[in-house]
Structure formats: C-alpha cells, structure tokens
Amino acid sequence: MTGVNASQRNYRVILPENALARWLEWLGGFYTLTGPVGGGVAARFTEISKFEQMDLDYQSTMLPPGKKYLFEPVEEVLSFDVSEGVFSSGPYPPGRKRALIGVHPCDVNAILYLDMVFLSGPYADPFYRARRENTFIIALNCKSVTGLCFCHLVGAGPYLKAVSGYDILLTEIGEEEGAERRGGKNRKFMVELVSEKARELCDVFPFSMGEQPEEKDFEKMSRMEAALLKSFRKNLDMEGVQSALLSRPDHHALKETADSRCLSCSNCVMVCPTCFCHDVMDKTDVSLSRSRRVRRWDACQDISFAQVHGGNFRAQRHARLRQFVYHKLDYEEQFGRKGTVGCGRCIRWCPTGIDLTEIARAMME
C-alpha cells in the first residue's frame, strides 16, 4: 500500500469500528446487508440487520459469497405458457439491491472471474448482469491466513490488488488506544472508496468521524501485508505448472489420487468460487400448462457431464479430476488468467482431503 498518490488518498479514511458500524447500518437503508456470520473457516454469508451479527475475523466460508448471491444455485431463466404459446424470461433484476460486506480478496477476484465468464464473451447473461449491477461489494483484506490458502501464488490476496470491480476496501489496521466498546476493543479500519458508486454514497454521509490516514498508517499496512505473506504454508511453482500439466495428462499422481481417493462427489466444484458450470433443464408442471427452463450448478465430476451420443469424453474418474485440476491451474488461454484464486475451499471441503496443489506438485517432479 505504498506509493499512493494524493488524489487516491482523498478517498481514504480511518474509521473506528463503532463509526463503521453506524455507517454500514445507514447503508442498510439502500441495500440488503449481507455479511459473514459465525467465525473460523466455516462462516457463512447471510442477511444481517446489525453490525454485531457479523464476524469480520472470519477466515473462510463454505459457499463463496460471489457465487452464492450473483449466480444462484438454481434459477429459472425461461418460462413457457403452453396454452398461450408465449415465453417469459426474467424479470431482471431478481431481488433487492444487496451489499456484500467483508468479502475477502480471493472472493473478490473470483467475482471478477465470474464477470469474465458471464459478461465478457459474445453473450452477456442478463440475470448475472442485473445482480452484479445491484450488488455493492465491500471487500475486506485478510488479517490471517489458513493452512490451505494459496492466494499469494496467483496474486489474489491476502491484500486486494484489483483497482476496480468492487466498491469499498476495508483493512483492519489496529485498535483505538484507550477506547472501550462493549467491554471489547474498538478496532480501526482503513476505508478506501474504490468505485464511483461508493464515492457518491459517501458524499451524503460525511466521513467526519474518521481521521485522515498518515504515512505511518500506510507503512503499517505494508508491514502487516509482508508479515501475512510470510505466514503462508502452501507453495507451488506456478510458472512451471502450465507446461508440466499439459505434457503429462496421464500422470500416475492424477490416476492414483482419482482411483484411490476421489469420490466424484463434486464438493470441490460446489464450493469453488470460480466454478461456473451449470446444467439447463426443462421442467413441465403437472398441469401441463407451463414449462420452465431452469439452470442449476453442475459439476465436471459428474459422470454424465461430458457425455454425448455414442460416448463419454470423461468416462474415467481421473479424467474428471483432471478437468478440475487443469481448469484451475492451467488453461490460462480461456480467460487470460488461471481459474483458481487460491481460496483453498476445494481442499478443505474434500471428504478425502484431495489437494490440487499436491497433485500438481507431484506431476511437476
């Protein structure tokens, strides 16, 4: 966070936690507040009414906030009235405006990835776009890393480096000296207004209760980031991965992991913040009056995923596991970046503890 120029600094302020709480609750007048509830690595994003409900010390969630709220697990995209013979699609946007509070850098990067999937190609998905435009993202730099995190390897964390695509960035930079709040300490947050939307909103609500950050605050942030970077336990040669994986598609590490441990349960895909695959199915009402086209999260680990007439291109389990590993660590041509943000969820929620970085490391040896 060094090398900040003056104009950027105007949009930064240090707020004590109680002021941040008041400001966020004021924001609740415009947006449905959604934040992390329950701490540790199994927190969950849910709608909240009070700041105190949130645990901003959380480390990870099972379902990533971006995918959960921007790309819903089941969604009706089309409805056909059989007697009238007319289609309806929408309405967009489905639901209220939402503010996602405390989204970690990996998950913000995952949202930027989903943006590329659903908005950047020749066709933009209207449902995703409507939700995305209605979502106010308040990112939160990490203050600790878990043993499974590897965001530092792909530039997705632990401090957020993206300069657009979200609205506000929070960083906890210590505690207010001498201030007691409900028996606890009153933490201080560096608040950075990143988007125009955020800057306009904060015109209405003055930041007078905060203080201008000084050079020492930025230095402190840099020190905290450097310390965090040292605490990562996972390491992988990301430069070498690309050439190693594609040249060894039938490597024994992949086959042995798949054959001995993979259950094809699709947990890895469901919790992955960048996995976007979905199935589309038509459902007709019992009355035969209406037919709905529904899309639902789908997984490449499912045996019928790549089935076509006359064959299945990924009938073998290791081929399906390979598709997941390669899509995350290779295939940069697809969207110009790797498919992983290093959140570690696929490792944490795998019932048999399959670790894609371990597979990749074995394949590179």
Partner 1 sequence: MITRETAKKSLHVPVRAVIKGVKDEAPGVRTLLLEPVEGQFPRAGRVSRPGQFNMLGYPGVGEAPISYSMLPPGKTDAKAEELFGHTIRRAGRVTGYLEKFKEEDEIFFRGPFGRGWPVEEARGKHLLLITGGLGLAPLKPVIEMAPSLGLAGATLLHGARTAGDIIFKAELARWKTGGAVEIGLTVDNPPGNFFKKRQDRGLEGFEKAIGEIRTGLITELIRPLQIDPAKTVAFICGPEIMMRFASRDLMMKGMGGAGIYVSMERRMRCGTGHCGHCQIGPWFTCKDGPVFSCAQLRGLPDVII
Contacting residues toward partner 1, per CB under 8 A: 77-78, 80-82, 84-90, 117-118, 121-123, 125-126, 246-247, 249, 276-282, 284, 291, 293, 295, 298, 300, 305-311, 313-314, 319, 322-323, 326-327, 330-334
* Contact partners, residue 43, CB within 8 Å, separation at least 6: 36, 37, 55, 58, 59, 60, 61
Distance in Å, CB of 65 to partner 1, minimum:
20
Nearer to partner 1, 214 or 256 (CB): 256
CB of 135 to partner 1, least distance (A): 18
With respect to partner 1, which residue has the nearer C-beta, 12 or 278? 278
Burial class (CB in 10 A: 0-12, 13-18, 19+), 255: middle
In the complex, least distance from residue 333 CB atom to partner 1, rounded to whole angstroms: 4
In the complex with partner 1, the residue whose CB is nearer, 68 or 322, is: 322
Q: What's the half-sphere exposure (Cβ side, CA atoms, 13 Å) at 134?
A: 20
Backbone angles phi, psi at 105, to 5 degrees: -55, -40
Burial class (CB in 10 A: 0-12, 13-18, 19+), 159: buried
Of the candidates 153, 169, 151, 149, the residue with the CA atom closest to the CA atom of residue 221: 169
Give me the least distance between CB of 182 and partner 1, in Å please: 46
CB of 81 to partner 1, least distance (A): 8
Contact 338, 326 (CB under 8 A): no
CB of 338 to partner 1, least distance (A): 11
Residue 11 CA, chain-centre distance (Å), reads 25
Between 200 and 332, name the residue whose CB sits nearer to partner 1: 332
β-bridge partners, 46? 35
User: How far lies 325's CA from each of 87, 124, 271, in Å?
Assistant: 39, 27, 14
Beta bridge mates, 103: 139
Separation of alpha carbons 48 and 100, rounded Å: 10
Shortest distance (Å) from residue 71 CB to partner 1: 10
Give Cβ neighbours of residue 349 (< 8 Å, ≥ 6 apart): 62, 267, 268, 270, 271
| Beta carbon nearer to partner 1, 188 or 314 | 314
Q: Give the side-chain half-sphere CA count within 13 A for 21.
A: 15
If the CB atoms of residues 42 and 280 are measured against partner 1, the closer one turns out to be: 280
Instruction: Note whether 275 and 269 are within 8 A (CB).
Output: yes
Considering the complex, state which of residue 81 and residue 133 has its C-beta at the smaller distance from partner 1: 81
d(Cα 35, Cα 21) in Å, to the nearest integer?
12
Question: CB of 269: closest distance to partner 1 in angstroms?
Answer: 10
- Work out how close the CB of 327 gets to partner 1 at its nearest, in angstroms, rounded to a whole number: 7
Answer for the pair 63, 46: CB distance below 8 angstroms, yes or no. Answer: no
Shortest Å distance, C-beta 350 to partner 1: 20
User: Cis omega before residue 65 (within 30°)?
Assistant: no
Which residue number, 3 or 91, has a Cβ lying nearer to partner 1? 91
The smaller minimum CB distance to partner 1, of residues 11 and 331, is found at: 331
Q: Which is nearer to partner 1, 205 or 313 (CB)?
A: 313
